[in-house]
Structure 1
Amino acid sequence: MENTGVEQLFPRMQLDELLEELQTRLQAVLTARDGVHALLEAVVAIGRDLELDTVLRRIVEAATSLADCRYGAVGVIGSDGELAQFLPVGLSDDEIARIAQWPHGRGILGLLIKEPRVLRLDDISASPESYGFPAGHPPMRGFLGVPIRIRDEVFGNLYLTEKNGDREFDEQDELIVTALATAAGIAIENARLYEDTRRREKWLDASGQITRELLSGLGTRDALQLIAARGREMAGAAVTLVAVPDDDGATMSVAAADGADDMVGTTIDVEGTLTGSVYVSGESVAVNRMTGELGTAPLIERLPAGPVLVMPLGAPERVRGAVLIGKGPGGTPFSGTTARMLQQFTDQAGLVLELADSRRQAEQFGLIDDRARIARDLHDVVIQRLFASAMELSGVVRMVNQPDVARRVERTVDDLDTTIRQIRSTVFALQTSHGDGEGEGFRRRILKISYSAGEQLGFAPSLRLEGALDTDVSDELAEDVLAVVQETLANVVRHARATRVDVVVGIERGGVRVVVADDGAGIGGAERSSGLANLAERAHRRSGTFEVRPGDGGGTVVEWHAPL
């Protein structure tokens, strides 16, 4: 009987062991089933969005959830073989702020870049490749790294650390995360294609807008600002700069900026700088991290840290400047497709600028021809007829016996003489106005002041310009003359209550003479005297003369003269 009991006990123990083993295997199957379900849900989740940054974040979040760990990150490998973007998950903003130095791809991370294969470690610090943690970095022990491939290209790596419950990463974690990385590669490729498609649409739209705006008469400065704005929009960048060469050819200045308005006007040397070398060579340079081999880059150093693309503005044989596009902190490196698209955009923008300049020059030449023709007609026809009429009336005066009639004829002759001088001044202005449309001549600036005063007076002042004002008057003297005309007309507007104003600016007695006469209330109080004192000081500084006197028929006459 005792033997029978022992025999019954052993089969029961073996059955319990078999049941326990079966339960363990069933639990493993359930766990594997749950892992597969979680993996499928993660694959669906990361493929749901087409924004690349959102896809990358979802990949890391899915990996940390599947492997049941605290920290995860994705590192994007740049063209230089180092980490160009590092996106962590599990760290708070305060923890991130305390980290002294962001990963560049050294140590264990660098090993994964050099040898893109699955890497599982129980203790990071025990590995001979360990580089250590920077100051402020939270402690981490276990590690699982899996490369993310897009076809034959290694896009980056998934990094996972600190499995919950102080457990170690196992083979199951490795298999699931590897499968996720395979699906992640497909999702990233789809996101890239989507971004490329959207960027191409923006490129076509931006190129069309710049072409329309420039060929419809948009100024060069406004065109450069438009290039900066649309370039930044196309690249999804933080800032865009457009630098153009200065007149001396040795320096370049930032003519337009989008996202960094304070940098407009910044000047750099062409020789020895990265931006200058791109302008001279006509070849683009992508900068993911500054090194000494790239030379000095004062513009890039003032931009937010992150990938920067420096491109020539225009085709290599007709480069007009350089365009800098910076993505800022955390930005992904410029892919080859994006860089080529942006380069095509700047090439076309430079070509359109050339076409717009050629069109403006053709219009300017046509305008000069029209001015020359009008000047010839005025001189050869109008002035000669007026002069003949004045001569004939001068002869008639001697034949008139009535004094009143004779005086009226003489006044008419004087008016004709004044008209002839005004037309001659206009002829000279037409013959000497050869501006490029970007600046203004001396005569034109005087006309603008006169027109502005006329708007405030309610009537147009009579203006006569005599002599070679645009060619014989220096820029420094012209500024004083403009100030005199401006101040005198301002006094008339504020104080004179005039109904007529005559302005004469001309070359006379080896200098510039300005006469402003009005029929108003006469010289006013202290405010007006203060403005006139300023004009007297300008005349004294130039060894000239200044006089204020009552007009013959009332009002005030201001006369200012300075030697050439």
Structure 2
Amino acid sequence: MSERFSDRMQAILLSIVEVAPLAVVGRRLAEAALDLTRADYAAIGAYDSRDQLEQWVPVGVDPAHERLMGHPPVGRGLLGAFARTSAPILLDDAAQYPTATGMPEHHPPMGPFLGVPVVYAGHSIGAFYVTRAPGGAPFTEDDQQRLADLAPYAALAMANARAFEREQRRAQAAEALQRAAADLREAPDEREVAAVLMRTLGALFESSPCAAVTWSADPARPYRHVLESSAGQLAASLESSLRTDLPNGAHRRSDLLEGEEAALQLAGDETGRVALAVATAALSVDLDMSPLRELAALGSDSLAAIRRQAAEASLERYALRDEIARDLHDDLIQSIYAIGLGMRVAAGGDAEQLRAVLATASDGLNEVIRELRAYIAQLSHGPESIGNSGLLSARIAALLRGPERPKWSHRIELGRAPLAPDLERQLYLIVREAVSNVQRHAHAERASLALTVEDRALRLAVHDDGVGFDRHDIREGAVGLRSVEERVVSLGGSVMIETQPGRGTTITATFPLAPAPDAGTAEV
């Protein structure tokens, strides 16, 4: 080997030592073959695990001709021979090869031909191809030897390039699946699940036709959403195939697209199922398809989560209905019944007694109206308020909308932690009694109510600037306050009533809340 050739080989080896995608490494190798043999045209071909020509990187052909050739060679003839042999092929005329199938249209004419296999771990993974125009000088054994000397380095460079591409695809797939998992956690419905799956298929498989279907045969919640990446028959064929009893898992189907195989992945059950399809003609047979399986599983889990959320919302609606039914029976119906009973008793009395009963009935009916407004306000917001004390807040606010006097101000800050339903109910009854006492007996101009959470305790404060009273003078007007005290104590709380004749009244009640969950743990 001459010193000049050694220098050239060293420069070539330095150019291919950098890890890069196969297309980049392949072009450098093809350029090296062109330089070493002084050929007119050169190419490097790479075979897949089925010995099919997977990648073709030519040099020496001008870009215009390369565009006109369109689809690269498929390796059925001379170019595919090196997948089956480890011996070089040296021809004075490429057309002499027994299985030559001709050249693609617009391919530059070929005369002398030299092909040298690239072998890695005992298996041919590609080949060098060099050729000259018809009438050009034949290639020599020295040319053949130069390419044979380069071939082991080319094998290592191509193997490294493929490993690099696999790692890149693995990282890109992991990132795409991570995004999909985050988006699916936020998906509000099954249609959005299908949209996320479709976007992720596009990120995983780029330009290959893809389709995603989510559907349910559950009569209580049927749906079917179909999306695909390009206009065509893939989605329609996929839908048609789903009418058969295909089991979950991976399938290869050749009946979804005419003349093209598709990879199919199914997951889920009849209450929420996912089907994903990807046309594989443009994909390497060695491409890792496990992301398709993982994506289908993510979609199936998301559909199950949405189904659970829908069931929970349904239970919340039933809970709201039962709570309102109970309160209507225990509170409003009883109040209306008491008003009616009082009016029947007064029917035989004198005018003064009747006026007093009608005044009491009017106050009672106003209170019933405020209660009904609270229920209507809650129903207009739906059951989502359950669990964050929205019903309690709405009902208390409605209690304070009534007569012009007193003029109420209020502050309700219960935080995000839900209150136990029994505590909410008892708390409302306490507030209602306290507010009712102010409105009926305080003769106040202004009143305020504050319900807040402070230091793991619930604090209620009701204040008015009315007439006040003597705590030691047990009068009819104080009976409601005794009821307040008894309810507070029954909840494990404490109550303080501050009042003097002519100085107004302040009721302060404090209720302990359950301990917060351990910060080191979380519900899953």
CA contact (8 A) 2:47 2:126 kept: yes
Match of 1:41 among 11, 14, 39: 11
Structure 1: 5+ residue stretches without partners:
1-28, 286-292, 302-307, 435-564
Structure 2: 5+ residue stretches without partners:
385-524
Per-residue displacement from partner, 1:176-235 (whole Å, max 9, x unpaired)? 222323212211222222333343344444444444554466644444444444454455
Q: Give the alignment of 1:459-478 within 5 angstroms.
A: none
SS at 2:132's partner residue?
strand
SS at 2:19's partner residue?
coil
CA distance in 2, matches of 1:312, 1:149: 35
* Structure with the higher helix share, 1 or 2: 1
1:136 equivalent to 2:106? Answer yes
Match of 2:43 among 66, 73, 88: 73
Relative to structure 1, the CA distance from residue 420 to residue 139 in structure 2 (aligned partners, 3 Å threshold; closer, same or farther) is: same
Relative to structure 1, the CA distance from residue 152 to residue 124 in structure 2 (aligned partners, 3 Å threshold; closer, same or farther) is: same
Match of 2:236 among 263, 267, 271: 267
CA contact (8 A) 1:144 1:161 kept: yes
Report what 1:97 is aligned to.
67
Letter in 1 for 2:255: G
Matched pairs, number: 379
Report what 2:274 is aligned to.
321
Relative to structure 1, the CA distance from residue 277 to residue 136 in structure 2 (aligned partners, 3 Å threshold; closer, same or farther) is: farther
Q: Give the alignment of 1:411-490 within 5 angstroms.
A: none
CA contact (8 A) 1:282 1:316 kept: no
Report what 2:332 is aligned to.
383
CA distance in 1, matches of 2:154, 2:302: 43
SS at 1:128's partner residue?
coil
SS at 1:312's partner residue?
strand
1:310 equivalent to 2:263? Answer yes
Match of 2:284 among 320, 326, 333: 333
SS at 1:294's partner residue?
strand
CA distance in 1, matches of 2:231, 2:365: 58
Report what 2:249 is aligned to.
282
Moved more, 81-90 or 238-247: 238-247
Per-residue displacement from partner, 1:17-47 (whole Å, max 9, x unpaired)? xxxxxxxxxxxx53xx333322232222122
CA distance in 2, matches of 1:262, 1:276: 22
Report what 1:353 is aligned to.
302
CA contact (8 A) 1:203 1:345 kept: no
CA distance in 2, matches of 1:425, 1:266: 46
CA contact (8 A) 2:52 2:74 kept: yes
SS at 1:323's partner residue?
strand
CA distance in 1, matches of 2:245, 2:189: 25
Report what 1:171 is aligned to.
141
Per-residue displacement from partner, 1:332-372 (whole Å, max 9, x unpaired)? 61425x224x2453354246336534652563365245324
Relative to structure 1, the CA distance from residue 200 to residue 319 in structure 2 (aligned partners, 3 Å threshold; closer, same or farther) is: farther
CA contact (8 A) 2:190 2:214 kept: no
CA distance in 2, matches of 1:66, 1:203: 39
CA contact (8 A) 1:228 1:240 kept: no
Letter in 2 for 1:152: G
Relative to structure 1, the CA distance from residue 154 to residue 296 in structure 2 (aligned partners, 3 Å threshold; closer, same or farther) is: same
CA distance in 2, matches of 1:426, 1:209: 39
Per-residue displacement from partner, 1:438-467 (whole Å, max 9, x unpaired)? xxxxxxxxxxxxxxxxxxxxxxxxxxxxxx
* Offset, 1:121: 1.0
1:244 equivalent to 2:207? Answer no
CA contact (8 A) 1:241 1:254 kept: no
Per-residue displacement from partner, 1:452-510 (whole Å, max 9, x unpaired)? xxxxxxxxxxxxxxxxxxxxxxxxxxxxxxxxxxxxxxxxxxxxxxxxxxxxxxxxxxx
CA contact (8 A) 1:84 1:332 kept: no
Per-residue displacement from partner, 1:79-100 (whole Å, max 9, x unpaired)? 5543333332222332123336
Relative to structure 1, the CA distance from residue 227 to residue 40 in structure 2 (aligned partners, 3 Å threshold; closer, same or farther) is: farther
CA contact (8 A) 1:118 1:144 kept: yes
Letter in 2 for 1:94: A
Relative to structure 1, the CA distance from residue 372 to residue 350 in structure 2 (aligned partners, 3 Å threshold; closer, same or farther) is: same
1:367 equivalent to 2:316? Answer yes
Coordinate RMSD, CA, aligned: 4.7
Relative to structure 1, the CA distance from residue 372 to residue 165 in structure 2 (aligned partners, 3 Å threshold; closer, same or farther) is: same
Identical columns (%): 19
Match of 1:56 among 15, 22, 26: 26
1:294 equivalent to 2:243? Answer no
Per-residue displacement from partner, 1:361-410 (whole Å, max 9, x unpaired)? 56336524532442343333233234325535754895685999999888
Letter in 2 for 1:339: M
CA distance in 1, matches of 2:233, 2:98: 50
CA contact (8 A) 1:242 1:254 kept: no
Match of 2:57 among 81, 87, 111: 87
CA contact (8 A) 1:228 1:241 kept: yes
Relative to structure 1, the CA distance from residue 61 to residue 198 in structure 2 (aligned partners, 3 Å threshold; closer, same or farther) is: same
CA distance in 1, matches of 2:166, 2:70: 35
Letter in 1 for 2:286: S
CA contact (8 A) 1:279 1:321 kept: no
TM-score by length of structure 2 reads: 0.58
* Offset, 1:122: 0.9
Relative to structure 1, the CA distance from residue 197 to residue 109 in structure 2 (aligned partners, 3 Å threshold; closer, same or farther) is: closer
* Offset, 1:123: 0.4
Letter in 2 for 1:294: S
CA distance in 2, matches of 1:45, 1:416: 89
Per-residue displacement from partner, 1:532-554 (whole Å, max 9, x unpaired)? xxxxxxxxxxxxxxxxxxxxxxx
TM-score by length of structure 1 reads: 0.54
CA contact (8 A) 2:339 2:364 kept: yes
SS at 1:69's partner residue?
coil
Relative to structure 1, the CA distance from residue 92 to residue 316 in structure 2 (aligned partners, 3 Å threshold; closer, same or farther) is: farther
CA distance in 1, matches of 2:307, 2:316: 14
CA distance in 2, matches of 1:353, 1:375: 33
Match of 1:147 among 106, 110, 117: 117
* Offset, 1:173: 1.6
